[in-house]
Amino acid sequence: MKTKNTLSIKLILFSFFVLNTLYLIDNTSLAQVTNSSPYSRYGIGDLSGKGFAQGFAMGGTNIAVQNDSTPMFFINTGNPASYSNIRLTTAELGENFNRTQLQSATAKKTINNASLAYLSLAFPVKKWWGASIGLIPYSSVGYKVSDHQEVSNVGGVDFLYEGSGGINQVYFGNGIKPLYGLPGHFLRSKKYERLKAEKNFAKADHILKRKKSWQSFSLGLNASYMFGNIDNSRRSIFPSNSSSFNARAGTTTRLGDFYFDYGAQYSYTFDSLNGRDLKENVKLLMGATFAAQTNMTAKIDSLAYTYFNNSLGYEVVKDTINNVQGVKGKMQFPLSFGFGLGIKKGDKWLIAGDFAVQNWSTYTAFNKSQDLKNSMRVSLGAQYVPNSKANGKGNYFKRMNYRMGGRYAQTLLELKNTQLTEYGVSLGIGLPVGRNFLLQNFSLVNIGVEVGQRGTTQNGLIKEQFIKATIGFTINDRWFVRPKFD
């Protein structure tokens, strides 16, 4: 039985979710990942991984991962086809914490950051249709790099490069099962009636089982509005030459356009092996994702000037060299695709792997190329739940979700004839909170930690060693259902 108080609480939570999403859209800096990496200077910055806390702890694996028919349900934005398996309204909120050590051949520096990771809501529309809406970061820019050089006839010059900002996406996704009605259609067909009249039940069962297997085939689409600002600047400072004015040249790129990515998933269930029934069904999971090369509308502001610092240390502009505002252009986002495979045994075991590619060599911004390289990612992850059907009772540790994973990537950057690689290993747990199978509400606190490295100190480059942590909150409940009273 559901009361008015329960419904009121749900309406308040839903309103809070919507208002926070709208607020974050208007205050884009809150939604951007705080970043401190010299490598975010290139392209559109460091790309944020797809998927939430569950996938993060599994090495970022998400392409084939889908919800089962029983809670807990998770939101998997990495493949929109997964939305079709949502059976309860699901809300997710996550926070990121990063600790990065930057190391060159001569120096080290450690930086700590924290940021909002994601805010998302998913809900079932029909048994064959699910939808999701949310706000997630797409990329982040944050760097401050200095370089001292001795220039003939000038003396020492300090070059300072700075950047900040990033790109966010508000998305609305849908996943459907286009073949969901096949078994029912067959049971109403003349062919089934004929087989039943002939008492050919074996063939009828075989056809019905095949059509049921095709019910799991899903297609999905994320329609996203991409927006954000990226600021880049370069300063030339003459600390020992009082006759020369310092110079600054900066650009602000403002992006605002729509972007679409697609997905497909299929699962085949084995309920018997060599004629013997299995105690727990085994599912073979398959998935694919795709996004076409897309020209995104953008504007760029450019400002360059010379200046000096007065006795109080304030910057005083001397001459404006260039000031151009609101120049329209295109940023060409690359084609990307990925494939995933997984095996799931009941609700206990899940093992999955991904392979994904992005064609960054075609990236251009305002008709200029940045000589980026095609990127590639391989990941593998596993999840184990000793007893997922304990109905809130029994040993708590047996109801926890245990996760681990690893990933390896060739990044889009090639600097000084060295294509940068990145790798990481991750561990995580899911802590069930307040489960109630009768009222169909479930909560989980997901914690994941990843340790990894990007880059190298060879050829004058910088090595980044990082520890990333994510904490996410997942809530499942029966929202949008009319309350019933005795």
For the record, the structure tokens of 84 come out as 């079709």
Fold held by 4-180+215-477: Porin (2.40.160)
How far is residue 110's CA from residue 132's CA, in Å, rounded to a whole number? 37
Q: What residue type is assigned to position 294 of the chain? A: T
Q: What is the mean pLDDT of each run of 10 residues along the chain (486 residues)?
A: 45 48 45 64 89 92 90 92 94 92 86 88 94 94 85 79 93 95 87 86 85 92 96 88 82 95 94 70 94 95 90 84 93 96 91 96 92 95 84 76 96 91 96 71 90 90 93 85 53
CA distance 278 to 294: 47
Q: Each residue of 411-469: pLDDT tens digit?
A: 999 998 889 999 999 999 999 987 666 556 788 999 999 999 999 888 888 999 999 99
H or E element that contains 441:
strand 441-455
| DSSP annotation of 39 | G
**Quick one: CA dihedral 347, 353, 358, 359, positive or negative?**
negative
Domain ranges of the chain: 4-180+215-477
Instruction: Encode 274-293: b = buried (16+ Cβ within 10 Å), e = exposed.
Output: eeeeeeeebbebbbbbebee
What are the tens digits of pLDDT across the range 245-263?
A: 889 999 999 999 999 999 9
Using the CB atoms, write b or e for 241-268: b if 16+ within 10 Å.
Answer: eeeebbbbebbbbbbebebebbbbbbbe
Classified as helix, coil or strand, 247 is strand
Q: How many Å apart are CA 324 and CA 339, to the nearest integer?
A: 44
Using CA atoms, how far residue 417 sits from 56, 128, 373, 408, in Å, is: 31, 50, 11, 20
Q: Give the residue among 147, 309, 142 at the shortest CA–CA distance from 236.
A: 147
Asked whether 62 and 78 are in contact (CB, 8 A), the reply is yes
| CA–CA dist 95, 77 (Å, integer) | 16
Pick from 185, 83, 164, 165: nearest CA to 124: 83
Q: Specify the DSSP class assigned to residue 363.
A: -
Alpha-carbon distance of 112 to 267, in angstroms, equals 41
Within 13 Å and on the Cβ side, how many CA atoms surround 143?
24
Name the pTM for this structure: 0.87
Tokens 């109630």 belong to 436
